[in-house]
Structure 1
Amino acid sequence: MKSIEPKSANVRPQRPRRNIASRVLPPIALLFVGALAVATSLPAAAFGPGSSFGMTGATGGSQSQNQLLSVDASAADASVLRDGYTVNTPTPTPTPTPAAKSAPASTGGSPGGWGCQRDAPAETTRLTWPYDHPVKIGDGFGPRAEGMHDGVDLLAGNGTPVQAIGDGIVTASGYNGSAGNYVAIATMVGGQRLCSMYMHFQDGSVTVTVGQELTAGTVIGLTGDTGNASVEHCHFELFFADGVRFDPIPYLTANASY
């Protein structure tokens, strides 16, 4: 009879062998699923060549501090060129303020301001027309082709005497390239200084001087065509001390006589 030796106490019992595939496939499957998840979560540009930088969401929060996004280098440069400029707004050069000019004594470009602001004598006793008889009127008061006409043109024959329209004082007299030989007279009417203007006298015909006091109807010169005149006439203007011209015909029609 064959004797049976007892098993050694140090010998471990045999475990059943597992199939190799059962041990290897599960980890591989997990890795595949993880790679697929990563691939679908990144934009296509993440797999292109170029530089990489941290990606930040539109709201400002970081989507992933460790995740890197690769973009085309030319696109990154374009972003820098577009957003990296500064706008220098030029400081406008202030327009120099012209020096203040003293206000003229009268408007309409009349020579010498005519001195209508000077004191006039006592209230006039009457008003008359520049001629002692009715005459034709050429250009009236108002705008015309060459500009504003500040008075009226009284068409009397060459050498016809022109007279002061009221008691007053001669405030200006002389020659001007536009007015020719002229005279200005200040008259007190209703407590206001009324200035009357007379232009285009014949050379050497003016009979009054500045500062001379006159009475209504005094002859001050003879009708001519000196200065800017194409025909013999008297250019006549009226205005108060403010220098604003007004149409003298309605005023004289209402207040003057021959």
Structure 2
Amino acid sequence: MTHPQHGRRAAARPTRRDATARSAAAAASRTAAVSADAPRAPRWTRSTAPSRSLMSIATMSAVGGMLLATSVPALAVTATDSEVRASVYAPAEDTRSLRSQTLDVGSEVALAPIDVEGWDVEAAPPPIESQVAGLGEVALIETPRVVWPVDPSRTSDGFGPRIAPCAGCSTTHDGIDFNPGAGAPIVSIADGVVVTANTGDGGLGNYVEIQHNIGGELITSLYAHMAYGSMQVSVGQRVSAGQLVGAVGSTGQSTGPHLHLEMYGADGVRFDGMAWLQAHVTG
């Protein structure tokens, strides 16, 4: 027989099962508190998960296609094409058509006929046939141009009577003395043929003679006292107006470097070369 507790009703003594239940309830309460503070993770539903997977596959397929298009040559992609195609490197065929040019003339335009009787035909002047010692017969065609042999701005003795400037010099000057300076170039006054090229030590020193057809007349020009070794032409050579003949010197009977120019016609008579050149020089 069990005696009751004095003063109050005795409380029921907890069992081991009750302690275990209380511990589980406290753990659940703590887990619930932590879960309430943390953000809730999304939950995949049965309807959304497959669609997301399909979108990822489509995106990866599109990126792969772009990489293939930009990195693989066009010829490699179409290598299995059985149809024959033109090479992309072949030049393009020109399909343009060129039309001939035409000129349309209005009906009001009248073409004037050419009057053949209004023209005069003149035959070229015949050449002068000259007999040159050692050359035989030489044909001289008329020259259209006459030039100065040197710069004419400085002269000394003119043509005609004079006081002999040196022992052995003549008192009748057959030419014109130009003073352009030692070594100045001497050129032919017109087209012609060289008939004399003397390198002796006579009174004229080194000199050249050239025959010309000027205005239908046979004219000979003579260039004297040229410097030693400066002669640029030879007998029989055809020259043109302004062509280099030699250089100014002081060979022969000379008192200083100058060009002694003589001119004469078919009769061999010397005339004033200065006056003649002033009347005939064309350039």
Give TM class, smaller chain: 0.5 to 0.7
The residue aligned with 1:129 is 148
Candidates 175, 181, 185, aligned match of 1:161: 185
Measured in 2, the distance between the counterparts of 1:169 and 1:230 equals 30
Amino acid of the residue matched to residue 237 of structure 1?
A: E
Q: State the 4+ residue runs in structure 1 displaced beyond 4 angstroms.
A: 113-118
Please tell me whether the aligned partners of residues 152 and 178 of structure 2 are also in contact (alpha carbons under 8 angstroms). no
TM-score, normalization by structure 2: 0.48
Structure 2 residue matching 1:252: 3-state secondary structure: helix
Deviations 1:39-95 (A, max 9, x none): xxxxxxxxxxxxxxxxxxxxxxxxxxxxxxxxxxxxxxxxxxxxxxxxxxxxxxxxx
1:257 Cα offset (Å): 3.7
The unaligned stretches of length 5 or more in structure 2 are 1-131, 165-170
Over the matched positions of the two proteins, sequence identity in percent amounts to 41
Equivalent-residue separation in structure 2 for 1:141 and 1:218 (angstroms): 25
Conserved? CA contact 1:155–1:234, under 8 Å:
yes
The answer to whether the 8 A contact 1:120-1:188 is kept is no
How far off is 1:118 after superposition? 5.9
Per the alignment, do residues 187 and 212 of structure 1 end up closer, same or farther by CA in structure 2, a change over 3 Å counting?
same
* TM value normalised by structure 1: 0.53
1:12-27 map, 5 Å? none
The amino acid that maps onto 1:249 is M
Aligned to 2:204: 179
CA distance in 2 between partners of 1:117 and 1:151 (Å): 27
Q: CA offsets per residue over residues 164-195 of structure 1, 9 Å max, x none?
A: 00000000011242000000000001221100
* RMSD over equivalenced CA pairs, Å: 2.1
Give the unaligned 5+ runs of structure 1: 1-112
Q: Secondary structure at the match of 1:225?
A: coil
Bigger Rg, which one: 2
Name the SS for the 1:178 alignment partner: coil
Pair 1:194 & 2:213 matched: no
* Corresponding residue of 2:278: 253
- CA separation in 1, counterparts of 2:234 and 2:194? 7
1:145 pairs with 136, 160, 163, which one?
163
Query: Equivalences for 1:1-258 in 2 at 5 Å?
Result: 119-131=138-150, 133-146=151-164, 147-174=171-198, 175-258=200-283
Separation in 2, partners of 1:194, 1:117 = 17
Count how many residue pairs are aligned between Structure 1 and Structure 2: 145
Partner letter of residue 207 of structure 2?
Y
SS state at 2:254 partner: coil
Shift of 1:196: 0.2
Give the secondary-structure state (helix, strand or coil) at the position aligned to 2:252.
coil
Contact 1:120 1:168 (8 Å CA) reproduced: no
